[in-house]
Amino acid sequence: MEATAGQAGKTKFQIDLRRYLREDGEDEQLIHLICEIAEASKYIINSIRTGDLGVAGTSNLYGEQQLALDVLSDRILRKRLAQSGVVSNVVSEETADIVFIAPHRTGNFSVAYDPLDGSSLVDVNLAVGTIVSIYRGCDLMQPGTKQVAALYILYGPRTTLVYTTGHGVHEFGMNQLMEYTLLRRNVRMEPKASIYAPGGLRSLYTPGTGKFVRQLESNGVKLRYSGGLVPDFNQILMKGKGVFFYPHLQNAPQGKLRLLFELNPMAFLMEQAGGAASNGRQRILDLVPQKFDERSPFFCGCRDDVAMAEACIREEG
């Protein structure tokens, strides 16, 4: 059950992330890995608060200009993962290829991550985040159903870590000692949305997506969009009654978001909270990535609304 307000006030200073994972019966190596990522986030927070907001003079594998914060955040997280002792290989949205750490060691994990999603929003002081997807073994090119854990860290007015290991979705907040302690357990989605967060230029929506938006608005669903995947997804998840989408566009039939780094972990979290995630035609977690930079349209949130999006796209294209 989700902690009540009274329970949350009592538990958030008593149950830290490591203890909660252990009491939940998680594998010790996976606990160690999740806690290492949590430790890395403390250094990323500091880089956001004090770091260089300019460009790095380099590009990522998508040809996008990298910010200095992107490069630094990637370096922080990759170093922590490499030193964890439980990681075989990693791939980052900021690097051109897979980084092999200990590919022949059995029992390890492979990690795909976006070190600082929405980094271009930092200079205007909007929330950004880190997104992480974890697989057992050394193969990252698997459907999202094979994930053993997924999490994101939101750097906003508060810093929160939200994770799943396939046993529900749980939220932790960073306290004054920079420790993650329990805020909410078993976060759940309602069937229907009251808010929606749309990505992409509306004039470039296909007829199906356009119809979906009109139906949402006719149902009284309100627009709430910051321009960042992590804060917008977090708003929908924590409110429990919303839908986020970055659809296929007339000039971008695969949308913008990356399957491996963004969609698989977010879809895993959403499904574990009782919601749904689709590319408009099929479940996101069933898609098998063919390359690291593969993109896909994305509709996620309340089940009834994701089903409505699929119906609109099926009818209108």
What DSSP element (H or E) covers 65?
strand 65-67
At 162 the pLDDT is: 98
Longest dimension (CA), the chain: 55
- Residue 201, SS3? coil
Neighbours of 203 (CB within 10 A): 8
The parts of the chain modelled with pLDDT lower than 70 are 1-13, 51-66
Helices marked H in the chain — which ranges? 5-11, 17-23, 28-50, 68-82, 207-218, 229-239, 264-272, 303-316
- Report the alpha-carbon distance of residue 135 to residue 147 in Å, rounded: 5
> Which of 112, 113, 110 is closest to 101 using CA atoms?
110
Domains and CATH numbers, the chain: 5-184 (3.30.540.10), 195-316 (3.40.190.80)
User: What are the tokens at 146?
Assistant: 């094979």
Output the pTM of the full model: 0.91
> Burial letters for 111-149: b for 16+ Cβ neighbours within 10 Å, e otherwise?
bbbbbbbbbbbbeeeebbbbbbbbbbbbebbbebbbbbb
CA 178 to centroid of chain Cα atoms: 21
User: What are the tokens at 201?
Assistant: 């230029």
At 227 the pLDDT is: 87
At 5 the pLDDT is: 36
At 11 the pLDDT is: 44
Which residues have C-beta within 8 Å of that of residue 31, sequence separation ≥ 6? 18, 21, 22
> Which of 129, 121, 150, 93 is closest to 231 using CA atoms?
129
> Which of 129, 146, 137, 131 is closest to 102 using CA atoms?
137
At 304 the pLDDT is: 98
Q: Which amino acid is at 141?
A: M
At 66 the pLDDT is: 62
At 157 the pLDDT is: 92
> Which of 31, 149, 34, 134 is closest to 89 using CA atoms?
134
